[in-house]
Amino acid sequence: MLRLSECDKVLILSKLEEGCSIRNVARIFNINKSRVLNVKKKWEEDGSVKRKEGSGRPRISNHQQDEFLTQDMMKDMWLRQIDLEDFLLTSGHGCVHRVRELHGKLKAV
């Protein structure tokens, strides 16, 4: 399911204000009626069609630490996980995920 842009949401609201039915608006935009209703509900509750800011898990390393890890990984691709965990002061899972992400960036370079 594609995310509706803010522009699409405004157009949906304008069609509803023109008097189009929810079914017709859904057909025009090729989306489910529930999505039209959700846009309308969000507008009525918040007065906005913008998405909320993401609230994902915070990063385990900052930019400076990423640079350090990248340089170390370029020198020695076989760094031990425990060395990286000590540097990041984090558990194995978060460290492994971060190293894989940085390793992918190194391959692209």
pLDDT, tens only, 48-106:
888 877 777 776 667 787 777 667 666 666 655 556 656 655 554 555 666 666 666 55
State whether 10 and 41 are in the same domain.
yes
Give the Cα separation of 78 and 97 in Å (integer): 15
Could you tell me if residue 26 is inside a domain? yes
**Domain range spanning residue 20?**
6-46
Instruction: Examine residue 30 and state whether it is found in any structural domain, yes or no.
Output: yes
Q: What CA–CA distance (Å, rounded) separates 67 from 96?
A: 16
Please report the sign of the dihedral spanned by the C-alpha atoms of residue 82, residue 88, residue 94, residue 99: negative
* H-helix segments, the chain: 6-18, 22-29, 33-46, 63-75, 81-88, 92-108
67 and 102 together in one domain: yes
19 pLDDT band (50/70/90 cuts)?
very high
Report if pTM > 0.75: no
> Is the domain of 12 the same as that of 41?
yes
Q: 67 and 33: one domain?
A: no
Return the pLDDT at 67. 77
**Residue 95 · residue 88 · CB < 8 Å:** yes
- My answer on whether 41 and 15 are in the same domain is yes
Q: How far is CA 100 from CA 41, 56, 69, 105, 108, in A?
A: 41, 19, 11, 9, 13
